[in-house]
Amino acid sequence: MMTEGKLLAEMQDLRDRITGITGTAVASRDGLIISEDTGGVNADNLAALTSAALSLAQRLAREAGQGTLREAITRSSGGYVAIYAIGTTAVLVLLGDEGLDITRLHRESRSVVDTIEKLLA
Amino acid sequence: MESEEGSVGPLREALMVCAAAGMSGTLRVTGDPGGAIHLTDGRVAAIETPGAPGPEVLLLRSHRVTEAGWDDAFAAAATSGGRMRAELVRRAMVGSGELEGLLRTALADAMFVLASGTVEEYRAEPGPVECALPLEPGAEPDGLLAEASRRIRVLAALPGRNDRGRLRVVAMPVPPGVRLGEGQDEILALADGRRSPRDLAFALGRGVYATMLLLVRMQQAGLLVPVSARAFAAAARTPGRTGSGGEPQDVGGLPQRQRDLPAPSRRLRAPGRLPERLMPLGLLRPRTGRDVSPGETS
């Protein structure tokens, strides 16, 4: 399978595996979409905003002296947006509903990020 | 016990120990979907699980309570140290009896979901119970488990697939002259081949069990067809399906009638915006202007 196919398969698998994930996207750090499975959410806008939000969250973590950013989570009345750095060149964004299994997400996010980073290498 | 449906056996075992001890606290259930069963004096006050919508989702997504109203009540309850339930009733946002019914319905649904899933382990954590809308007094574990068993049996007796909880469905055109039943139009708008019954229940603010029964009826009426989520996603990204007027290519595995379906969602996707092709890595798509769809003039 080609890399983009594997990447999309990994993203879809993530949606199947973690209850409550409604969409996923991988974007470059300059805000361009690499692969998306967002289910109707505008992926281009999402990529651009995600890139900016990740940079801001990383600066915030540094400023607060709290070490390396693990994830940036936005919780709204209708669900979650979780953002993860993929190395230094890309970003993973996950969309979830109100029932998103946060515990499982925390448990699996590191290995998901590693897998995607290897696919993009 | 061995003959009990799904995971009713291990849940009964754990809950009976808690009930016998009159425990107040949380029984954490690890598994798929797993969750937390909050108990007061051995009775079930609330259940939190990623697998079923809780009272907040049921109230907000069904528009029985507005978001602003919920936030105000939540803030007032937090600052006064009062109860969310009393606050919602005091503000006449929901009747006391209606709320009681909704809390009982949510508990039954959550227990059904836990019992339908897998239980890897459980752990009792006695202590104070922290949840916004507990049922007071709580529900008897026995009654909830009996109802969960009954629901599992009802679904098992229906014709069709046995992995119904994971089944994704796609809307079919409504035949002329067919009148849609209550809630069916909303299901059709959301049935895009991506959402499981649980996802639909969350999106609509309905119970998972009620949603599953409705999906079965709609499949029997030919309004929905099951689809492998993976096959549908692949089909949506097949080159040639991204523009209008093009002949759809082979979408392997999908029922024949489904090939002419346009974008998966009828309502939630912006008009005219179809699933876009996956771009090869390194060949990034230039960013379009905000809210401007490809093909649209800005």
Cα–Cα distance measured from residue A41 to residue A64, given in angstroms and rounded to the nearest whole number: 32
What confidence score (pLDDT) does residue A72 get? 96
Token pair in block for residue A61: 């973590």
For chain B, percent of residues with pLDDT exceeding 90: 57
DSSP secondary structure, B140-158, as one string: PHHHHHHHHHHHHHHHHHS
CA distance to A46, A110, B63, B196, per residue, from A19 (Å): 21, 17, 24, 10
Interface of B with A in 185-224 (CB under 8 A): 192, 194, 198-199, 202-203
Mutate to test the interface with A, among B237, B274, B287, B288 (most CBs of A within 10 A): B287
Span A82-100, pLDDT tens digits: 999 999 999 999 999 999 9
Is A20 within 8 Å of B265 when comparing Cβ atoms? no
Tell me what the pLDDT averaged over chain B comes to: 79
Q: Nearest 5°: phi and psi at A42? A: -60, 110
Of B33, B194, B287, nearest to A101 by CB-CB distance is B33
- Taking 50 as the pLDDT cut, the residues of chain B under it are 1-2, 229-230, 233, 237-298
**E strands along chain B, which residues?**
25-32, 35-40, 43-48, 118-126, 168-171, 224-227
Q: For residue A8, give every residue at least 6 positions away whose Cβ sits within 8 Å of its Cβ, in sequence order, or none.
A: A35, A37, B233, B237, B278
Cis link prior to B33 (omega < 30° from 0)?
Answer: yes
> Strand B43-48 vs strand A79-86: parallel, antiparallel, or unpaired?
unpaired
Q: For residue B159, give every residue at least 6 positions away whose Cβ sits within 8 Å of its Cβ, in sequence order, or none.
A: none
Cα–Cα distance measured from residue B229 to residue B155, given in angstroms and rounded to the nearest whole number: 21
Q: Does B295 contact A at CB distance below 8 Å?
A: no
Q: Does A83 contact B at CB distance below 8 Å?
A: no
* Start-to-end CA span in chain A (Å): 16
What confidence score (pLDDT) does residue A117 get? 94
Span B83-106, pLDDT tens digits: 899 999 999 999 999 999 999 999
Phi-psi sector, B120: left (phi>0), alpha (psi -120 to 50), beta: alpha
Average pLDDT rounded to a whole number, residues A44-63: 96
Cα–Cα distance measured from residue B275 to residue A37, given in angstroms and rounded to the nearest whole number: 9
CA distance to B118, B189, B202, per residue, from B181 (Å): 33, 14, 20
CA distance to B52, B60, B92, B105, per residue, from A101 (Å): 11, 19, 32, 21
Contacts of A94 in chain B (CB under 8 A): none
Whole-complex ipTM:
0.89
Contacts of A22 in chain B (CB under 8 A): 194, 199
Contacts of A42 in chain B (CB under 8 A): 270, 273, 291
Contacts of A19 in chain B (CB under 8 A): 32-33, 50-51, 198
CA distance to A64, A74, B65, B102, B202, per residue, from A71 (Å): 15, 10, 32, 35, 24
Token pair in block for residue B264: 């998966």
Q: What is the CATH number of the domain that holds A35?
A: 3.30.450.30
Q: Does B26 contact A at CB distance below 8 Å?
A: no
Token pair in block for residue B252: 């392997």
| Number of domains comprising chain A | 1
Q: What is the nearest CA distance from B262 to chain A, expressed in angstroms?
A: 13
Closest listed residue to residue B248, CA positions, set B267, B234, B228: B234
Average pLDDT rounded to a whole number, residues A35-49: 94
Average pLDDT rounded to a whole number, residues A36-51: 94
Q: What is the nearest CA distance from B41 to chain A, expressed in angstroms?
A: 27
